[in-house]
Structure 1
Amino acid sequence: MADSLGRVLVVDDDEVIRQLIAVNLQLEGFEVDTAVDGLDCLERVRDVAPDVITLDVMMPRLDGWETAVKLREDPETAGIRVVMITARAQDRDVVRGREIGVDAYVTKPFDPNELIRTVRDLASGNRPV
């Protein structure tokens, strides 16, 4: 896929949502890999080498918050852009995410076009508004 817009690692424990995000991004021209939770993400991130990671907040084994912290603490993964996909985008969650270094939020239920725009902006080096 020579014209790929970038590589995205989609992390969500809900298979339906994981596939929905993956298909939408693939149709847009992204290369997509998936992980079922935070631990799976951390195990795969070096092999996948994504430009962007979409992270669900509520997951078993390792939630999105802790996964984001671990990504930011590791010099090899600290620069990967992170989009939190969450039903919880209250002010305190956004503040917590900023403190961790989350780049963007998309609230569930999400508009696939909004998600694509956000991921495209981050993959191209821009920060979404």
Structure 2
Amino acid sequence: MTDAGAHRELHLLVVDDEAQILELLELTLSLQGFYVSTAAGGPQALEMLQTCAVDVIVMDVLMAPWDGFETVRRMHRAQPVLPPVVFLSGLNRPDTLPDLGPSVQLEYLVKPFRPSELVAAIRRVWDGRSSPSSSN
């Protein structure tokens, strides 16, 4: 038995300020069975989060005018319970991540990564959010 059909179609908000990367992520994740909305930076992502229900956020770290961490902070101020976040970065994961709020569940992937690694990270944060042990 495979788990390919074991999850409902998740709605992802993918945020990146590079148009080519955004397009590639949208195509890759759509082909994996996800429903994908895109935002070309933090301000647009914040606006979209306020107007549509999202299950998981896939967020580039290095963006302008706000980096991914600042975007998540602003999202958290606007919506205290955020969907889980998968951060994508060309930089190694810092030893300590910035404080993004107590309810923010996250994964951190370093580029380059395989599409299967991104899908696995999305499923991990979604499963972690849905599990009873993640409520605290």
TM over 0.5: yes
TM-score band, normalised by shorter chain: 0.7 to 0.9
- Cα 1:48–1:77 change in 2 (3 A) is farther
Aligned residues between the structures: 121
Please list every run of 5 or more consecutive structure 1 residues that lacks an aligned counterpart in the other structure.
none
Q: Secondary structure at the match of 2:124?
A: helix
Residue in structure 2 matching 1:48, options 49, 52, 62? 52
Q: Is the 8 A contact 1:84 1:102 kept in 2?
A: no
Match of 2:4 in 1: none
CA–CA separation in structure 1 for the residues paired with 2:85 and 2:93: 18
**TM-score, scaled to structure 2:** 0.78
Residue in structure 2 matching 1:14, options 2, 18, 29? 18
- Cα 1:90–1:58 change in 2 (3 A) is same
> Which segments of structure 1 move beyond 3 Å, counting only runs of 4 or more?
124-127
* Higher relative contact order, chain-length normalized (CA < 8 Å, sep 6+): 1
AA matched with 1:23: L
116-125 or 26-35, which moves further after superposition?
A: 116-125
Match of 1:80 in 2: 83
Based on CA coordinates, which of the two structures has the bigger radius of gyration? 2
**TM-score, scaled to structure 1:** 0.82
Does the alignment pair 1:30 with 2:43?
A: no
Match of 2:97 in 1: 96
Match of 1:119 in 2: 122
Please list every run of 5 or more consecutive structure 2 residues that lacks an aligned counterpart in the other structure.
1-6, 132-136
C-alpha RMSD of the superposition: 2.0
AA matched with 1:56: D
Deviations 1:46-81 (A, max 9, x none): 22311111111111122111001112233x353311
AA matched with 2:89: T
Greater fraction of residues in helix = 1
CA–CA separation in structure 2 for the residues paired with 1:115 and 1:88: 16
CA–CA separation in structure 2 for the residues paired with 1:103 and 1:19: 22
Deviations 1:9-63 (A, max 9, x none): 0000111111111111111111000000001100111223111111111111221
AA matched with 1:96: L
* Distance apart, 1:102 and its partner CA: 5.1
Q: Secondary structure at the match of 1:119?
A: helix
AA matched with 2:63: M
